[in-house]
A and B are shown apart, each in its own frame.
Chain A
Amino acid sequence: MTATDPAPAAAGRGVAVQFEDMHRWYGSVHALDGLSIDIAPGELVALLGPSGCGKTTALRALGGLDEVDAGRILVDGRDISHVPTNKRSMGIVFQAYSLFPNMTAGDNVGYGLRLRGIGTDERRKRAAETLELVGLGGFVNRYPHQMSGGQQQRVALARALAIQPQVLLLDEPLSALDAKVRRQLREEIRRIQIAVGTTTLFVTHDQEEALALGDRVGVMSAGRLEQIAAPAELYDRPATAFVAEFVGLTNRVKGMASNGVVDVLGGRVPLLPGSAGPGPVTALVRPEAVQLAPEDGANARVLAVSFLGSLGRVQVGLPDDTLVVAQVPATDVERLAPGTAVRVAVVPVPVFAVAE
């Protein structure tokens, strides 16, 4: 990951973006319910949420493709809420198949420049440079139907970057690609975004993608922003039950909360702010916080094991029929065959608890 690539756009040109109390109704559906987000210049914010949570609506509102019913959008301090799409200078990459089929990759990338009255030679040069930036130097004369999905999305990214947009909007650009290409392109996007320095809003329903890409990740649900934070904080210290359950895997385990701690799985664990309690609660415990010791004082039995390469996931049954998933190092997988008696313990990292 380097920041030294010859980016066609000047590096560090990012501008600030602010959503202010945005509302959007589709009939009776409240797609945006008072959404407010501040995005710092040059920052990449990933909006994450289940389908229908309003994340795409927010992106389309910023791009000018959809209107909002109330609220303002400020870009670089200027209210652009009523500026039409074609005057906004937003580079948008869509889910798929947004390249113009009648144009070559070069013409696709150069199209925005053509609209800006840039001459043919300059346009060709810049289109070629931008294609180079996304790793498709030799593809200038290819038509979209002659390229794979991953290549098409790279061209779409180049096309969005070529106009040196104020803000880059990525609307689930990887969701139509297969897993390997997706991971590869994800890293490319991050590298290029850092090199170019454009403020970026990335919308996805894939949490791995969001956590890997975002400087900060905003989790949305039902038109509201549940929490926006750096990926690690979001994962370790979820602010709401929704975030705790939506991001990462969690075990729902019964426990007894009192005075900021919860007794769960035979251990005492601190509670995160916003948790339910005191009294009986359901604690949301990450699989990596569950420890399995095969030796002494067994209180559970291994039910199933899945080997995931670098690590393993083990499903164990407790005497009260609660199922708990633990994450273990790959080296432990062999010792934990189904049927093995184990002792379940919990690492005292703070957990979130919801009312039982």
Chain B
Amino acid sequence: MTDPGGAVVGAAGAAGPEGGGSAVVARPTGAGRGRRRSRRQFGARIAILVLVFGYLLLPLLAMLEFSTRGDYGSRSLRSYVAILEYPDLIDGITTSLGIAVLTVFGMLLLLVPTMVWTIVRVPRMRRVIEFLCLLPLAIPAIVLVVGIAPIYRWMGQSLGGVGGSPLTLALVDIILVLPFAYRAIDSGMRTVDVATLADAARSLGAGWPRTILQVIVPNIRGGILSASVLAVALVLGEYTISSLLSFDTLQVVIFLLGKRDAYVAVAVSLAALVFAFVLLYAIARFAPGTGQRARIAPEEEPAT
């Protein structure tokens, strides 16, 4: 766990829809001589579970152990208290959160109308859009930076304070988050008949903005929420590009801090991880109207 970015990205993976849990599920056995086999399987499952949890938790426990070391083998929260003494760090957190908010809104603004339009008007382009959105996964961050750096240099020189602000990182982060966000929103859109809803809204007199905001968005909240959670997780964990473009985001600051004071750096990493986890949980738990979604989908015909 030397890469400070790794900690929070790990959290993103766990919070994502494709969390590792499914790996544990074993295939059902045939009938017949099953008892011994199922017992063996049970043992195997436990072993896998222990392995996975060990793999995920051990580094965290190590971080906790390391960051709470005091003098002469005692325990101390000194490193955690010290976090507040680094103003850079607070700035880093604020910057990262700002970028996260901009990324979420930018991503939604870009993706939702595009995807609705694709479904309603040019369904055969759906594959193309999906492919475009998945591309960032295939492009290494370093390649992205090499291509983007000149644009940022130009923005910094020509657009004054706005152009040089670390918040402009949101532009790159929107691209980075596209593959995950697309999938999340797409799965949300598959649970409702977007084309028919849009047709209905438009026939009643709604223009495109109203159709999307008042009719489509409320019905794909689940997908939008997952996309947002993924975007926040990605932004909070992003290190490579911020560092290469010399912006002081949370992860960059943590890394720099680690060179000065390893104890505080690890404390911050762990705190950041917990913070991200709590934040993501809060978004998922308390976002408006998330409870309703599940009840709408599997509707069956009651008697008239």
Interface residues of A (CB under 8 A from B): 63-65, 84-92, 94-95, 97-102, 111-112, 115-116, 143-145, 147-151, 156, 159-160, 163, 169, 178, 181, 184
Measured CB to CB, the nearest residue on chain A to B204 is A112
Question: In the complex, given contacts A94-B199, A101-B192, A149-B301, what are 16 additional A-B residue pairs having Cβ atoms less than 8 angstroms apart?
Answer: A63-B203, A64-B203, A85-B199, A86-B206, A87-B205, A95-B196, A98-B199, A102-B219, A102-B292, A111-B214, A112-B205, A115-B205, A143-B296, A147-B302, A163-B204, A178-B301
Flag if A100 contacts B295 (CB, 8 Å).
no
Flag if A91 contacts B203 (CB, 8 Å).
yes
**Residue B200 CB within 8 A of the other chain:** yes
Flag if B205 contacts A163 (CB, 8 Å).
yes
Known contacts A100-B215, A100-B219, A102-B218; is A65 also within 8 Å of B304 by CB?
no
Flag if B202 contacts A86 (CB, 8 Å).
yes
Bound-complex Cα distance A97 to B296 (A): 11
Flag if B304 contacts A111 (CB, 8 Å).
no
Measured CB to CB, the nearest residue on chain B to A65 is B199
Flag if B204 contacts A98 (CB, 8 Å).
no
Flag if B192 contacts A65 (CB, 8 Å).
no
Bound-complex Cα distance A88 to B214 (A): 20
Per-residue CB proximity of B271-304 to A under 8 Å, as 1/0?
0000000000000000001001001100101111
Shortest C-beta distance, B271 to chain A (Å), equals 38
Cβ of A115: which chain B residues have Cβ within 8 Å of it?
Answer: 204-206, 210
Q: Which residues of B (204-225) have their CB < 8 Å from a CB of A? A: 204-207, 210, 214-215, 218-219
Cβ of B296: which chain A residues have Cβ within 8 Å of it?
Answer: 101, 143-145
Shortest C-beta distance, B298 to chain A (Å), equals 9
Shortest C-beta distance, A201 to chain B (Å), equals 13
Flag if A94 contacts B200 (CB, 8 Å).
yes
Measured CB to CB, the nearest residue on chain B to A152 is B299
Cβ of B199: which chain A residues have Cβ within 8 Å of it?
Answer: 63, 65, 85, 92, 94, 98
**Residue B172 CB within 8 A of the other chain:** no
10 examples of A-B residue contacts, CB within 8 angstroms = A64-B203, A65-B203, A85-B202, A91-B203, A99-B200, A100-B219, A102-B289, A147-B302, A148-B304, A178-B301
Return the contact of A100 from the options B201, B205, B299, B301 (Cβ within 8 A): B201
Bound-complex Cα distance A102 to B214 (A): 9
Flag if A151 contacts B299 (CB, 8 Å).
no
Between B205, B206, B207, B299, the greatest number of chain A beta carbons within 10 A of the residue's beta carbon is seen for: B205
Bound-complex Cα distance A143 to B297 (A): 13
Cβ of B90: which chain A residues have Cβ within 8 Å of it?
Answer: none
Bound-complex Cα distance A112 to B214 (A): 12
Measured CB to CB, the nearest residue on chain A to B192 is A101
**Residue B197 CB within 8 A of the other chain:** yes
Measured CB to CB, the nearest residue on chain A to B207 is A86
Bound-complex Cα distance A64 to B199 (A): 9
Flag if A86 contacts B304 (CB, 8 Å).
no
Return the contact of A148 from the options B200, B215, B292, B303 (Cβ within 8 A): B303
Flag if A86 contacts B193 (CB, 8 Å).
no
Bound-complex Cα distance A94 to B301 (A): 18
Cβ of A160: which chain B residues have Cβ within 8 Å of it?
Answer: 203
Bound-complex Cα distance A150 to B304 (A): 7
Flag if B200 contacts A98 (CB, 8 Å).
yes
Bound-complex Cα distance A111 to B200 (A): 10
Bound-complex Cα distance A156 to B201 (A): 11
Cβ of A91: which chain B residues have Cβ within 8 Å of it?
Answer: 203
Cβ of B201: which chain A residues have Cβ within 8 Å of it?
Answer: 100, 111
Bound-complex Cα distance A94 to B214 (A): 19
Bound-complex Cα distance A99 to B193 (A): 10
Measured CB to CB, the nearest residue on chain B to A169 is B203
Cβ of B205: which chain A residues have Cβ within 8 Å of it?
Answer: 86-87, 89, 112, 115-116, 163
Bound-complex Cα distance A90 to B204 (A): 7
Bound-complex Cα distance A63 to B200 (A): 10
Shortest C-beta distance, B208 to chain A (Å), equals 9
Q: Which residues of B (177-208) have their CB < 8 Å from a CB of A? A: 192-193, 196-197, 199-207
Shortest C-beta distance, A92 to chain B (Å), equals 4
Bound-complex Cα distance A169 to B200 (A): 11
Cβ of A184: which chain B residues have Cβ within 8 Å of it?
Answer: 304
Known contacts A86-B202, A86-B206, A115-B210; is A98 also within 8 Å of B192 by CB?
no
Flag if A148 contacts B302 (CB, 8 Å).
yes
Q: In the A-B complex, list the 7 residue pairs whose CB atoms are closest, starting with the nearest.
A: A112-B204, A102-B218, A115-B205, A92-B203, A85-B202, A98-B200, A150-B304
Return the contact of B200 from the options A100, A102, A143, A178 (Cβ within 8 A): A100
Between B197, B202, B214, B218, the greatest number of chain A beta carbons within 10 A of the residue's beta carbon is seen for: B202
Flag if A159 contacts B204 (CB, 8 Å).
yes
Shortest C-beta distance, A109 to chain B (Å), equals 10
Measured CB to CB, the nearest residue on chain A to B205 is A115
Between B203, B210, B215, B303, the greatest number of chain A beta carbons within 10 A of the residue's beta carbon is seen for: B203
Flag if A98 contacts B206 (CB, 8 Å).
no
Bound-complex Cα distance A163 to B215 (A): 17
Cβ of B214: which chain A residues have Cβ within 8 Å of it?
Answer: 111
Known contacts A94-B199, A98-B193, A98-B196; is A148 also within 8 Å of B301 by CB?
yes
Cβ of A65: which chain B residues have Cβ within 8 Å of it?
Answer: 199, 202-203
